[in-house]
Chain A
Amino acid sequence: MKTKRKKRQEAEFNRRDFLKGGSLATMMAMLGGVELRAQVPEAKPEEQEPGALVKCGVIGLGARGREIVSTLTRLKEAEISAVCDKYPPFLKRGGNLAPKAKAVGDYRPILDDKEIKAVVIATPTHQHKEIVKDAFQAGKHVYCEAPLAHTIEDARAIAQAARAANRQVFQAGLQMRSDPQRHFLLPFIRAGALGNIAMARAQWHKKQSWRAAAPTPEREREMNWRLRNSSSTGIMGEIGIHQLDMCGLFLNTRPVSVTGFGSLIHWNDGRDVPDTVQTIVEYPGGVRLIYHATLVNSFDSDYEMYYGSDAAVMLRENKAWMFKEVDSPLLGWEVYARKDTFYKETGIALVANATKLAAQGEKPVEEAPFTNTPLYYALEAFITNVNEISTAVEDFSASFNINDKPALEKYLADIRLQPHATWMDGYGATVVAIKANEAVVKGQKITFQKEWFELG
């Protein structure tokens, strides 16, 4: 414990230090990358009482499904009751991650189990539709991985089923929509902190083949659904969907058109999906996103950039930085914020996250506050929302006639939910991704039609 006096001395020191270097700090703030970070919530999640336990089933135990299983095991309010994959080695590996769950080769028993309230669907994209529809039929809450489907028809059928199932939660697996770091940035960017946004750029670079080894030719074919245009939405659909969705969210608009280019450069193993793609996504007002993704090289990994007349913002994993123009207005707080160096764009590390803390003489937080993956936050939101909606339905049913559909919908619409990708978000993003992939495959410009986004 520090004495009050010592604390005060330190605070004095910091303040004096800052005043001394004030103009320099201001200048550096203008040059450097200013880290933008969300405030840590007052009460940490683990200090809060958990709600009711939600029993879940995970369907599809490939790499993504297994990541979902291990993430769910970390959530206090979730219990994995069953895992499912028709491929026994995957079932075994998935089952090992959740030893108490029953392991089944067919998803039917999961839907028939009345104890299981929610299912997470992480099967190959082209198999989503049937499972989602069956799961809604069985009264389950549904989390469905993105893209929702490999065709607009299937995606529409999923969205329609979700819309009709008004007592059940549907969440699309666009996990970045639940990421607190991005929710912190959203009002910041939407409020115009970047000035006039001129353009955006995003990338995803990773050297990996996407091909999975299998013991038989049939199994090989089934496992490598991503490598065939007939069942795959390619890099744009499987990866790009997340970054394109975020760009639309930050710019608060839907794209006008997409132009695509794709090549098979390196992984010439009989696949017909490109391993390297570039797309130009145009938004209203002439703002364009340049997106490139490749399975050939991993340099510089993945991030998104927004360029405005006052500043640029870089989003990278759970961090973000702002790079201000010299003639941009001084916001004030950026002077105190921590700085990082990006090649010639140098910043100065004053005191991390010091706006309030320095004034209070407290030790600043060094590490990023949100260290969980976006998937963690997305599944946490899903489980919380399942609890919220199911208790709201129960309470409504105990109070009024549950068959009064308009009144129930009105009541449920007022229930405060954790940020998540709704069926509408999921459908819109899937349409954009499918068309972006089509543009890549055909090497064309595709103009988005309003009716593609309509559910009918």
Chain B
Amino acid sequence: MAAAVFCGAVMVDAAETLRFEGRPGSKVKIDGTSTVHDWTVESQLLSGFMEFDAGFAKDPAAAAKSAKAEVTIMVRSLKSGKSGMDKVMQEAMKMPQHPKIEYKLLQLTPKSGGAEGTSAQFDATGALTVAGVTRTNTMPVTIEKVGETKAKVSGATNLKMTDFGIKPPSPAFLPIKTGDDVKIAFQWQTEQVAAAAAKTAETK
């Protein structure tokens, strides 16, 4: 069962919420194409949280509906290794007005897995906001328990720049044109926090 992944992490009473927060060691990678060569940008900064009902362990199908997750990526932290290209990308993503890429989970549907010690698969539907434009996206994600208190969420999805109002950049002075299609893949490291810590974090 999908929910077994979340069993026994931290002792909680049934009414409480399990909260996980983003931790260093995460990674998001965006792969794209161009008329000259393929390109990749990466960031290690995936912040945010996910929350589940404690009852998730018993009845995942019912409780998955209450699952919440929000993830933020600072656009500025996405690096290609070439400062010129970073600037082109930041401009295309309208960074000054929209410094963050934001994701908000709308629905989590358990698919398979989740027996003790293994990973669980879900379909995640969420609202993805890039460059100020929000689109609904559904992608398969895997949640894997790491140690006693940590969970790793990984997934990948294909997007089109133009869906988010981004014109595929074609940098000045160079005969390069980027392709519209990009692939985003991520590994999000999270750690369970106590309810009290979660409260503090929210009031920040």
Residues of A in contact with B (beta carbons under 8 Å apart):
42-43, 47-49, 384, 391-392, 395-396, 398-400, 404, 407-408, 410-411, 414-416
Instruction: Give A47's nearest chain B residue, CB to CB.
Output: B173
- The answer to whether A398 touches B81 (Cβ under 8 A) is no
Instruction: Give A50's nearest chain B residue, CB to CB.
Output: B87
- The answer to whether B79 touches A395 (Cβ under 8 A) is no
Provide the bound-state CA to CA distance between A399 and B48, in Å.
Answer: 8
Residues of B within 8 A of A47 (CB): 172-173
Q: Which 6 A-B pairs have CB atoms at the shortest separation, nearest pair first?
A: A407-B24, A399-B47, A399-B45, A395-B74, A395-B77, A49-B87
Residues of A within 8 A of B172 (CB): 47
Known: A398-B45, A411-B24, A411-B44. 8 other contacts (CB 8 A): A395-B76, A398-B47, A399-B45, A399-B47, A400-B23, A404-B24, A407-B25, A408-B24
Residues of B in contact with A (beta carbons under 8 Å apart):
22-25, 44-47, 72, 74, 76-77, 79, 81, 83-84, 87, 91, 172-174
- The answer to whether A48 touches B83 (Cβ under 8 A) is yes
- The answer to whether B72 touches A399 (Cβ under 8 A) is yes
Checking A395, A399, A408, A414 against B22 with a beta-carbon cut-off of 8 angstroms, the contacting residue is A399
- The answer to whether B84 touches A399 (Cβ under 8 A) is no
Provide the bound-state CA to CA distance between A398 and B72, in Å.
Answer: 10
- The answer to whether B76 touches A396 (Cβ under 8 A) is no
- The answer to whether A43 touches B84 (Cβ under 8 A) is yes
Checking B24, B87, B173 against A400 with a beta-carbon cut-off of 8 angstroms, the contacting residue is B24
Provide the bound-state CA to CA distance between A43 and B83, in Å.
Answer: 11
Provide the bound-state CA to CA distance between A285 and B77, in Å.
Answer: 45
Residues of B within 8 A of A392 (CB): 77
Residues of A within 8 A of B25 (CB): 407
Residues of A within 8 A of B76 (CB): 391, 395
Provide the bound-state CA to CA distance between A456 and B189, in Å.
Answer: 34
Number of A-B contacts defined by CB within 8 Å: 49
- The answer to whether B79 touches A400 (Cβ under 8 A) is no
Provide the bound-state CA to CA distance between A404 and B25, in Å.
Answer: 12
- The answer to whether B174 touches A400 (Cβ under 8 A) is no
- A139 CB to nearest chain B CB (Å): 21
Instruction: Give B171's nearest chain A residue, CB to CB.
Output: A43
A-B residue pairs in contact (CB < 8 Å), sample of 19: A42-B174, A43-B173, A43-B174, A47-B172, A47-B173, A48-B87, A384-B83, A396-B45, A398-B45, A398-B74, A399-B47, A399-B72, A400-B23, A400-B24, A404-B24, A407-B23, A410-B24, A411-B45, A414-B44
- A7 CB to nearest chain B CB (Å): 18
Provide the bound-state CA to CA distance between A398 and B87, in Å.
Answer: 21
Instruction: Give B72's nearest chain A residue, CB to CB.
Output: A399
- The answer to whether B87 touches A395 (Cβ under 8 A) is no
Known pairs A43-B173, A400-B23, A400-B24; A395 contacts B84 (CB<8 A): no
- B77 CB to nearest chain A CB (Å): 5
Provide the bound-state CA to CA distance between A7 and B72, in Å.
Answer: 54
Residues of B within 8 A of A416 (CB): 79, 81
Instruction: Give B88's nearest chain A residue, CB to CB.
Output: A49
- B14 CB to nearest chain A CB (Å): 29
Provide the bound-state CA to CA distance between A410 and B45, in Å.
Answer: 12
- The answer to whether A395 touches B24 (Cβ under 8 A) is no
Residues of A within 8 A of B91 (CB): 49
- B75 CB to nearest chain A CB (Å): 9
Known pairs A404-B24, A407-B24, A410-B24; A399 contacts B46 (CB<8 A): yes
Instruction: Give B48's nearest chain A residue, CB to CB.
Output: A399
- A137 CB to nearest chain B CB (Å): 27
Provide the bound-state CA to CA distance between A384 and B84, in Å.
Answer: 13
**B47, B83, B87: most-surrounded residue (chain A CB, <10 A):** B83
Residues of A within 8 A of B174 (CB): 42-43
Residues of B within 8 A of A408 (CB): 24
- The answer to whether A400 touches B83 (Cβ under 8 A) is no
Checking A48, A49, A399, A404 against B74 with a beta-carbon cut-off of 8 angstroms, the contacting residue is A399
- B84 CB to nearest chain A CB (Å): 6
Residues of B within 8 A of A411 (CB): 24, 44-45
Residues of B within 8 A of A410 (CB): 24
Provide the bound-state CA to CA distance between A70 and B22, in Å.
Answer: 46
Provide the bound-state CA to CA distance between A398 and B79, in Å.
Answer: 17
Provide the bound-state CA to CA distance between A400 and B91, in Å.
Answer: 25
- A433 CB to nearest chain B CB (Å): 33
Residues of A within 8 A of B46 (CB): 399
Residues of B within 8 A of A43 (CB): 84, 173-174
Residues of A within 8 A of B72 (CB): 399
Residues of A within 8 A of B79 (CB): 415-416
Residues of A within 8 A of B45 (CB): 395-396, 398-400, 411
Instruction: Give B46's nearest chain A residue, CB to CB.
Output: A399
Provide the bound-state CA to CA distance between A398 and B173, in Å.
Answer: 34
Instruction: Give B82's nearest chain A residue, CB to CB.
Output: A416
Provide the bound-state CA to CA distance between A269 and B45, in Å.
Answer: 61
Instruction: Give B43's nearest chain A residue, CB to CB.
Output: A395
Instruction: Give A415's nearest chain B residue, CB to CB.
Output: B79
Instruction: Give A410's nearest chain B residue, CB to CB.
Output: B24
**B23, B77, B172: most-surrounded residue (chain A CB, <10 A):** B77
Residues of B within 8 A of A398 (CB): 45, 47, 74
- The answer to whether A400 touches B22 (Cβ under 8 A) is yes
- A170 CB to nearest chain B CB (Å): 21
- B80 CB to nearest chain A CB (Å): 10
- A260 CB to nearest chain B CB (Å): 43
